[in-house]
Structure 1
Amino acid sequence: MLHQQFTSVDCTTNKPIYELSLILSNEQYLMQSLNNTQISCRSSLTCIHHEFVYQVMKHPQKLAVELDEQSLTYDELLFYVQQLALQIINKYDIKLGDIICQCVERSLSMIIGSLSIEIIGSVYCPLSPENPEERLQNLVEQTQARLILVHSLTNRIFRNTFITYDIDTAININDKITNGDLYQLSSISITPDDMSYIVFTSGSTGIPKAVQVRHRNLTVYMQSVAEMTTLKKSDNVIQMASCSFDTHFQDTFVTLMSGAGLVMLHPHGNKDLTYLIHELMDKDVTFLDAVPSYLDTLCQHLEIQNAKECLKKLRTLCSGGDVLTNQIMSRLKKYVSIPSLSSPIGCQLWNVYGPAEVTITTTYFQIGFNFDCDKQVMAIGKPLPNYHCAIMDEYFQFAPVNQEGELFVGGACVFAGYFGRNDLTAKALVAIDGELFYRTGDLIRMNHNGLLHYISRKDFQVKLRGQRIELGEIERCLLNITSISACVVMKWIDDYLVAYIQSSDISEQELCKHCQSHLPPHMVPSIFIILEKLPLNQNGKIDRKQLPSPNFSLPTLLSPDKSDTPLNQFEERIHTIWCQVLHSNQNHISTTTSFFSVGGHSLLLIQLYHHYQSVFNFDAHSLSIAPFLQQPTIFQHSQLLQTVIMNN
């Protein structure tokens, strides 16, 4: 092997040794095989709305989208899409390529609005209503959006500040669509290279990055997914992801471009596991895509409820956005259908990986039922059709097999750049052998079977419950407080963000309130540790290894507020449930302390809600999970629960 390696080096070269590639010929062949992904793409249908209209023509009466008791066929959905599109272009001076933001809760209006934006050649930018109002307004300003589509639940956020249009009002006008109207829409010249959508990702500079994706990126991605046979027109796909998450575009656009059925959940429906399970069964859902931590919470709920049949109708289950552990996969296998005589394939299990900059999913790994969760290592697999992967070392040379390197992704999937940030785009996109690649920042290794394995990040970006977070954005937010001279944010035991603050004049409550006003919920630190001085290393930089463990701050967080009244008997019951869910042995949590400031997060709140349902015997129709999210203290939960008990 050494002979093969050294005889492959040109001894007459004048290059430094670190610029020489030491890849063996068999390793080069393995890499070439890895990227032998080219498939022919259809050229007649080129844009997202073209693919959708093609499906309308094929099966106009097929159910396109349903939410609880509401539903629209493909033909009906196109009618409302065209109606809203005409309203927009006739009322507002919208030009090809203008950005239109949409801020709506999960609803049929969400689908109608997004497709209307595509059909008039505008750029769709979804905004999650769960974000603080100030952040939403800043994002709109960053995009320079001409218009914001809203509905009744979100109209108040932008009132008197931006130009808004209520989707529900528009689609209730019920004007007939004339041939002249159809000609007006069809005459809009949209090409595959035009921008389709923008999705925001966390930014290390303190400002979120707006990822721009072209029509052709998504249409080629759809054909790549179809080639893998993970999504078929016979599928019913449940829409799980938040609209601010790139999987949202697969759940919605790719589903409808493929002719499949889309099942929507009502607002906060993905946090009500009893409701979710009912929809999975009632709507015959066959395709589910969710982050690993959510699937783990779902499995725990199924175990408690002894509901072994609830996932048996699934044909495909995908998980991505974070590391899928063998432990979670072992749990999932207990609930999905396994190959049998009646169903020789069973449920296909996929571990998928991909940043937003390379159009949703980059690599895939099918997990067979013979996969040994106790012995085998979970891979992220191989690149999708028409995707290319390169693993490069620190000297920009191809990394040998089983050696760690940074993953670069090329092919038809690569995004158009960050909106308004050519400087960041230039750093993210590099040419390798004449092809444009996106630099992921993820450290990967390839094994001798040509499978890719995720190792870690090169920088301080983290994943928290499937959400991509640049810790620098949280730090910049905190440094905007004048009394803070230094800070550092770290991820702790996989589930929590901890902020270390150097200040002598601020409280944890003030810090939490500031973050909640400027950051999305998943980026608000669970724990704030205030120190007189942060430890420094010999180079004068913050020494992260010397920072105290977050454990010492928990008694402070959980200690009683001196002004807090004693717990009454009912609040004591709630306190006990909190301690069970939080796995805490603390004697007292203040009645005015937020669940999210004592180690709680969205998935734990789901568990808390279902504990409440079990103990106090109520269902989601009597009291949904939403009020518990919005009013997260023991006192507020006590008021909510006593009200529903009295009503029952």
Structure 2
Amino acid sequence: MEVFHHDLNQAYITGQLLYDDNTNLRYLDYAVIEQQMSMTGASMFWLDALHDCKLDQPLSLPFDRYRLSNENRTGRGTSISFDFGQDLSHDFLISASSNNISLEHFALATYYVFLFKLTNGEKDLCIGINTHGRYRDELNSIIGMFVNAIPLRCQIDPHLSFHKITKHVQDNMLNCMKYSYFPLQRILNQHPNISNPVFLDTSFDFISSITKDEENEIMIGDSQLSLLPFSIKISEDEIMSKFDFILSFQHDLNLNDFSCTINASLDLFNVETVCIIAERLQTMLHQQFTPFDCTTIKPIHELSLTLSNEQYLMQSLNNTQVSFSSSPLTCIHHEFVHQVMKHPPKLAVELDEQSLTYCELLYYVQVLSLHLLNKYHVVPGEVVCQCVERSLSMVIGIMGIEMAGGVYCPLSPRDP
């Protein structure tokens, strides 16, 4: 970058571009090389890599609304960022090092696992990514912009550990980068039935940068140039959205810290939804990489995106222990009869268009319990199984078995 800055400054001041044949630095039009390259191998690779991939089917992200096929993108988006903090950044670095994988590939694997959980278990994930075109070492010295967007497909096995997923993602990424020079339009031409390649709307980015302000500004002659920010604001609360959903990992090379930014289209997401998604990502990151909760060797399907307040709510809902005012030995059907005596005309159970009052429910329960006693001779403590769909009959069956003295055992009609 310093060499390029020097040459650009000299060209601006003198009007001439100095070129030294002895240096490895070359200024050329990459498109000339691209036109001379054989594309046969790349064509075969991408055809095989995307075989049976549903490129026109969007991921099942938690959208708040959907964009109609004839509806244009507004470009309005929102951006939510959070820092890893020193401890989590350290754990992230240690995990990447122990897996012998680059930070970019490690972050990409994390993104795939997050998408797997966020989409409720979608196993075939295809996203878009921009490549810098330096797929061979000898191209690193070329100055120029020859970015290409490519699809990155990852087929997830939920039973694999995150450690194994990272290896799979790394191998896949390296293979894709070998053929990243193959133009996106030619990749799409291999799938003529795909009219809307929506995989490009979900993207990933990894940025390594230095936080010093002066690194974002350079002087060319007497002119000061500044780098564009990652997110371009169009108002106080909105940014310009190029994608429907993009996760960007930022690595601060000075502090060796990490942060994440989620940019999402307001056409599809509410701001509150994006905030919750960011919180779920933080929750997963702590599960994966914090030593106390580390789950990198466990199957990824065991990871949870449940937030702490949601866990508390579920625990409170599942706390079904109730202390009755009467004797602690009171049975369920005794309490039921007690409620019938107190509120005979009140609604006891309702499902869709059907309902029963306490009095009506007691009648059907007594009929069933007498039937179990007289015909099937159910004795106290005998297990009685019930296989029935969710209905009023299910409630009648539960109470009837209890009233007959049996032990209720539910069976699923789908898997009895």
What's the TM-score bracket when you normalise by the shorter of the two chains? under 0.3
Q: Which has the larger radius of gyration?
A: 2
Question: TM-score, structure 2 length as denominator?
Answer: 0.25
| TM-score of the two chains, using structure 1 as the length reference | 0.18
Structure with the bigger RCO (C-alpha within 8 Å, sep 6+) is 2
